[in-house]
Amino acid sequence: MKAFIQGTGSISAQDSTVFPATIREYEGNRLPVADPDYKQWIDIRQIRRMGRVIKMGVGASHISLQDAGLTMPDAIITGTAYGCLADTGVFLNKLVTQQEDMLTPTAFIQSTHNTVAGQIALMLGCHGYNNTFVHGAFSLENALQDGLLLLQEDPARKVLAGALDEITEYSHTILSRFGLYKNAHTQQLLRSGTPGTMAGEGAAFFVLGAEKNARSKAELTGVEMIYRPASAEETAGHIAGFLQRHGLQPADIDLLLTGRNGDVRGDAYYDNIETTLFAGRPVAAFKHFCGEYPTAAAFGMWMAVQALHTGQVPAAAMFKGHAPATLKRVLIWNHQHATHHSLILLTAC
Amino acid sequence: MSEQVWIAGGDVICGTGLNLAACLDAFEKMQPGMGAMQHLRSAHANTFPVAEVKAGNDELAAMAGMPAHWSRTALLSMIAAQAAWNSTGLGAVSNYRVGLVSANTVGGMDKTEHFMETYLQDTATGRLREVVHHECGSITELVADALGVRHHVSTISTACSSGANALMYGARMIRAGMLDAVIAGGTDALTRFTLNGFNTLMILDQQKCRPFDDTRTGLNLGEGAGYVVLVSDRLAEQTTAWCRLSGFANANDAYHQTASSPEGTGNFIAMQGALNMAGVQPADIGYINLHGTGTQNNDSSEGLAIVRLFNGHYPPVSSTKSFTGHTLGASGGIEAVFSAYALRHGIIYPNAQFTTPMKELPFAPVTTFSRGNALRHVMSNSFGFGGNCSSLVFSE
Amino acid sequence: MADLKVQIIQQLNLQEVKPEDIENDQPLFKEGLGLDSIDALELIVLLQQHHNVRIANPEDGPEIFYSVRTMAEYITAEKSKQG
């Protein structure tokens, strides 16, 4: 079960048209998306109803389709942990403050989690398979797994799969009360050595096909999730097993790309396995570019695909060791609160 | 790899009954579950009937073995998922590679909307334990952890077709050999958020809903949960399976954000795809459990898509939403349990509140409960917002 | 009718449309301003919120919301009924 990535598109805190040559730095406790002009992809009549995350998702999906030279996918699959939070907040606010009176439909309609996948289908006139996963830090991974299954069932398909999440004032305030964030500078975030990270948001999409073609940028070799491992040993065992299932050893991984986010509470978990299973292997990170959110691995995957395509790892991404001279295999390992681990294996093609 | 995917069991909880046996009894006695709100607190309590589960959170928590302050969505899910697993007689979950694929549309919104009342006055207030399970996926995990499911957990949200898509994803993972068994279905509790949302669309009926009736004016919201247990060929040998999940398809109507296309394009593609996968002809279908919400637009689109596909060979059809109300993310799961059980026992469910056939349709729903029908294949439809359309076929 | 145009633009978030761009008799839906059924529901709330006029049956929408003029006439007629 593998796929070729024919196109990618990302809307994030970085300007994807110039990244990684130019990197945006942030100071504070969040990395907001650098909003492009969405009107280049979305008709003005449709844009008026769309919340930010919908515009991000629709925009990133368009970029990936253009990149792949594809006008009509056979399937559209999205992943989102929080869904359309801004519209949910608008409707909740009116519901409470207006005491269930004189409410309007637009925010409610846009609040449903499948809004982005539905909008993409509507704009493309795509009657194909359409699905939305809403499972926290497993949302992207399930979207990718669903895509791989679709290609296994019918290799002729072209699958558009991606993930998206947004920060809103409500969500940021509430999540801050859980002690998740701290004020920092993105250049120092990864080595800050204190609890807390910086919040992020964004959307990234990938066009997947079973056959390699002229547009293919990398191979999506495998995806797995580990739910509530009992210990770091169990996680390490699972990672080794995942590599073995693809005929690989840890030493075959040219670059380990982790979801390290500068929160000592979670980064210790990466430290442990980086120094045992992956001793001596170069390690890179991506959350100092995009911030922490449940579907941030989508940005990491977007960055890794660019690296595999160009053969170059951005120097600013390196955390341990030197950027490898030849880049054949990248393993993305991301975890959220040590309970949700995901593994995405990418291979140069 | 598994050639076939089997339904090894299933159960439900909804406004019609606290379990499948109680629902069957209500169908037979023609007792729909709609009435005035007893548990949801809303300004519209005296305006719109709803099909509430007839138990408070304390009672549900005791049944679920969970704390009563957890979201009602999780409590309902746990009760139905546990009962579904128990119905298979497979023993401990830990003996197999078991996954939980659960659908819901608003996660722990019942708690979030309560939290917002305080939070909106002062953002430093509101109890955080009321938003900790806001995310849809968090509800699924509460249940997975309580059941001891570790091999796969995921949550699907495609509005009203969510539950059906959960069955499809689970079945595909079994076919690919990734899991031995999947508890698949959906859950949703009534919330003010969804009640008011549907009210802004002006599609809530102030009487009991009348699906596929010419006089229909909208839907009634309901709540509940329903799960089937999907198993591989190997596991099916260890249990008495109800039937096979032989066909399924997912398509998008790509017409409008909330409304169905007049001719039901997405509905047609989904039903046709499910028949193709099952390898059966329209005439082989012995009963269709309709999506049948009771809105003007939904029923007309679904009906015309059936006319186009079945072309004169109309099987008995009915909408069990005329008893359960529209349970949103749970409906695909609940109706999959009804449909699979119907096939096993030759049952055709009645459509309640029916008086007047729709002018544009050459067929009308069944109005009486019957057993002993020779059913070989049963279809279940789920269509939703965002153009999401899914259809399932169960076969003996 | 000028006020009504401003209210419509605000309620429906019609970006880049100015009140003077909307003619009194121009159709609001489809080929005119391009509004759809969701906008009709928004306009029902607009009438309720700004003019205290209720529309119970959404099927009356197309006639009342044909143009700014028909909306204004409906408001006037309903107001006179309310006395």
Helix (H, G, I), strand (E, B) or coil at A135: coil
DSSP single-letter state for residue C76 = H
Same structural domain, A66 and A192: yes
Q: Which residues contact B116 (CB under 8 A, 6 or more apart)?
A: A92, A93, A95, A96, B126
Q: Judge whether residue A195 has pLDDT over 80.
A: yes
Active site residue B389: no
Interface residues from chain A to C (CB-CB < 8 Å): 44-45, 47-49, 102-106, 109
Same structural domain, A33 and A138: yes
Q: How many domains does chain A have?
A: 2
Closest-CA residue of A relative to B137 is A135
Helix (H, G, I), strand (E, B) or coil at A262: coil
**A169: burial class by Cβ within 10 Å (0-12, 13-18, 19+)?**
exposed
Cβ contact (<8 Å) for A48 and C38? no
Cβ contact (<8 Å) for C45 and A102? yes
B267 touches chain A (CB under 8 A): no
Question: What CATH number corresponds to the domain at position A252?
Answer: 3.40.47.10
The alpha carbon of residue B122 is apart from the nearest alpha carbon of chain A, in Å, by: 11
pLDDT (tens digit per residue) in A124-162? 999 999 999 999 999 999 999 999 999 999 999 999 999
Confidence at residue C83, expressed as pLDDT on a 0 to 100 scale: 65
Confidence at residue B156, expressed as pLDDT on a 0 to 100 scale: 98
**What are the tokens at A115?**
């809004």
Name all chains with 3 or more CB-CB pairs below 8 Å to chain A.
Answer: B, C
- Rg of chain B taking only CA atoms, in angstroms: 19
Q: Token pair 């380990």 is at which residue?
A: A256
Closest-CA residue of C relative to A48 is C13
Confidence at residue B42, expressed as pLDDT on a 0 to 100 scale: 97
Which residues of chain B are within 8 Å of residue C41 when distances are taken between CB atoms? 200-202
Closest-CA residue of A relative to C53 is A102
Name all chains with 3 or more CB-CB pairs below 8 Å to chain C.
Answer: A, B
| Rounded-to-integer distance, Cα A228 and Cα B144, Å | 11
The alpha carbon of residue A223 is apart from the nearest alpha carbon of chain C, in Å, by: 40
Mean pLDDT throughout C51-77?
A: 89
Which residues of chain A are within 8 Å of residue C38 when distances are taken between CB atoms? 49, 105-106, 109
Helix (H, G, I), strand (E, B) or coil at C56: coil
Range of lowest pLDDT (A218-232, A262-276, B103-117, C61-75): C61-75
Active site residue B133: no
Q: How confident is the model at residue A233 (pLDDT cuts 50, 70, 90)?
A: very high
| Rounded-to-integer distance, Cα A293 and Cα A202, Å | 9
CATH number, domain C2-82, options 1.10.3720.10, 3.40.50.720, 3.30.70.360, 1.10.1200.10: 1.10.1200.10
Same structural domain, A178 and A295: no
Cβ contact (<8 Å) for B201 and C45? no
Nearest beta carbon to residue B259 from set C37, C44, C45: C37
Which residues of chain C are within 8 Å of residue B259 when distances are taken between CB atoms? 37
Window B:190-219, CB contacts with C under 8 Å: 200-202
Closest-CA residue of A relative to B202 is A105
Same structural domain, A16 and A135: yes
The alpha carbon of residue C32 is apart from the nearest alpha carbon of chain B, in Å, by: 19
The alpha carbon of residue B86 is apart from the nearest alpha carbon of chain A, in Å, by: 23
DSSP annotation string for A64-125: HHHHHT-S--SEEEEE-SS-SHHHHHHHHHHHHHTTT-S--HHHHHHHSTTHHHHHHHHHHT
Confidence at residue B111, expressed as pLDDT on a 0 to 100 scale: 96
Q: How many beta-carbon pairs under 8 angstroms link A with B?
A: 171
**Which of B389, B358, B368, B167 lies closest to B259 in space, CA to CA?**
B389
**Does residue A239 contact residue A169 with C-beta atoms inside 8 Å?**
no
- Residue positions counted in chain C: 83
Burial A187-206 (b: 16+ CB within 10 A, else e): eebbebeeebbbbbbbbbbb
Please give, one letter per residue, the 3-state secondary structure of chain B: CCCCCEEEEEEEEECCECCHHHHHHHHHCCCCCCECCCCCCCCCCCCCCEECCCCCHHHHHHHHCCCCCCCHHHHHHHHHHHHHHHCCCCCCHHHCCEEEEEECCCCCHHHHHHHHHHHCCCCCCCCHHHCCCCCHHHHHHHHHHHHCCCCEEEEECECECHHHHHHHHHHHHHHCCCCCEEEEEEEECCCHHHHHHHHHCCCECCCCCCCCCCCCCCECEECEEEEEEEECHHHHCCCCCCEEEEEEEEEECCCCCCCCCCCCHHHHHHHHHHHHHHCCCHHHEEEEECCCCCCHHHHHHHHHHHHHHHCCCCCCEECCHHHHCECHHHHHHHHHHHHHHHHHHCCECCCCCCCCCCCCCCCCCCCCCECCCCCCEEEEEEECHHHEEEEEEEEC
Confidence at residue B277, expressed as pLDDT on a 0 to 100 scale: 98
* Of A1 and B348, the one with more pLDDT: B348
Which residues of chain A are within 8 Å of residue B151 when distances are taken between CB atoms? 227
Question: What crossing angle do the helices spanning C37-51 and C68-82 adopt, rounded to 10°?
Answer: 40
Cβ contact (<8 Å) for B256 and C41? no
- Rg of chain A taking only CA atoms, in angstroms: 19
In which residue ranges of chain B is pLDDT below 50?
A: none
Q: Is residue A147 in a domain?
A: yes
Cβ contact (<8 Å) for A127 and B135? no
Domain termination site, one of A179, A209, A239 = A209
Cβ contact (<8 Å) for A47 and C15? yes
**Which of A242, A232, A193, A248 lies closest to A335 in space, CA to CA?**
A232
Which residues of chain A are within 8 Å of residue B270 when distances are taken between CB atoms? none
Q: Is residue A214 in a domain?
A: no
Mean pLDDT throughout A341-347?
A: 98
Half-sphere exposure of A159 (CA within 13 A, CB side): 30
Active site residue B326: yes
Q: Judge whether residue C11 has pLDDT over 70.
A: yes
The alpha carbon of residue B213 is apart from the nearest alpha carbon of chain A, in Å, by: 26
| Rounded-to-integer distance, Cα A269 and Cα A275, Å | 10
Closest-CA residue of B relative to C61 is B202
**What are the tokens at B314?**
């109309």
Cβ contact (<8 Å) for A130 and B159? no
Helix (H, G, I), strand (E, B) or coil at A274: helix
Q: Judge whether residue A282 has pLDDT over 80.
A: yes
Domain boundaries, chain C: 2-82
Domain termination site, one of A162, A185, A209 = A209
Cβ contact (<8 Å) for C14 and A48? yes
The alpha carbon of residue B197 is apart from the nearest alpha carbon of chain C, in Å, by: 12
The alpha carbon of residue B366 is apart from the nearest alpha carbon of chain A, in Å, by: 31
Same structural domain, A85 and A183: yes
Confidence at residue B252, expressed as pLDDT on a 0 to 100 scale: 96
Torsion sign (Cα): A50, A55, A61, A64: positive
Cβ contact (<8 Å) for A48 and C12? yes
From the candidates B133, B151, B326, B377, which is the catalytic residue? B326
CATH number of B247-395: 3.40.47.10
Name all chains with 3 or more CB-CB pairs below 8 Å to chain B.
Answer: A, C
Q: Look at the pTM and tell me if it is higher than 0.90.
A: yes
Cβ contact (<8 Å) for B386 and A1? no
E strand or H helix at C78 = helix C68-82
What range does the domain containing A185 cover?
3-209
Among B48, B174, B257, B390, the residue to mutate for chain A (most A Cβ within 10 A): B257
From the candidates B14, B23, B136, B160, which is the catalytic residue? B160
**What are the tokens at A122?**
């509507």
Superfamily per CATH, domain B6-236 = Thiolase/Chalcone synthase (3.40.47.10)
**Which of A232, A242, A257 lies closest to A324 in space, CA to CA?**
A257
Half-sphere exposure of A144 (CA within 13 A, CB side): 31
The contacts found for B167-170 with CB under 8 angstroms, 24 or more apart, are B167/B101, B167/B228, B167/B230, B167/B245, B167/B248, B167/B332, B167/B333, B167/B336, B167/B392, B168/B248, B168/B250, B168/B390, B168/B392, B169/A131, B169/A146, B169/B101, B170/B99, B170/B101, B170/B230
The alpha carbon of residue C83 is apart from the nearest alpha carbon of chain A, in Å, by: 23
**What are the tokens at B42?**
């809303």
> ipTM more than 0.85?
yes
Q: Is residue A215 in a domain?
A: no
Q: How confident is the model at residue C60 (pLDDT cuts 50, 70, 90)?
A: confident
Window B:148-187, CB contacts with A under 8 Å: 150-159, 165, 169, 172-173, 176
| Rounded-to-integer distance, Cα B46 and Cα B65, Å | 32
**What are the tokens at A128?**
């194909």
**Triad B27, B383, B303: Cα angle to 5°:** 75
Range of lowest pLDDT (A82-86, A167-171, A248-252, C48-52): C48-52
Closest-CA residue of B relative to A49 is B257
Closest-CA residue of A relative to B173 is A149
Cβ contact (<8 Å) for B155 and A227? no
Cβ contact (<8 Å) for A178 and B128? yes
Same structural domain, A83 and A26: yes
From the candidates B133, B151, B291, B377, which is the catalytic residue? B291
Torsion sign (Cα): B79, A338, A225, A288: positive
Nearest beta carbon to residue A48 from set C13, C45, C49: C13
Which residues of chain C are within 8 Å of residue A104 when distances are taken between CB atoms? 11, 41-42, 45
| Rounded-to-integer distance, Cα B254 and Cα A126, Å | 6
Average pLDDT, chain A: 97
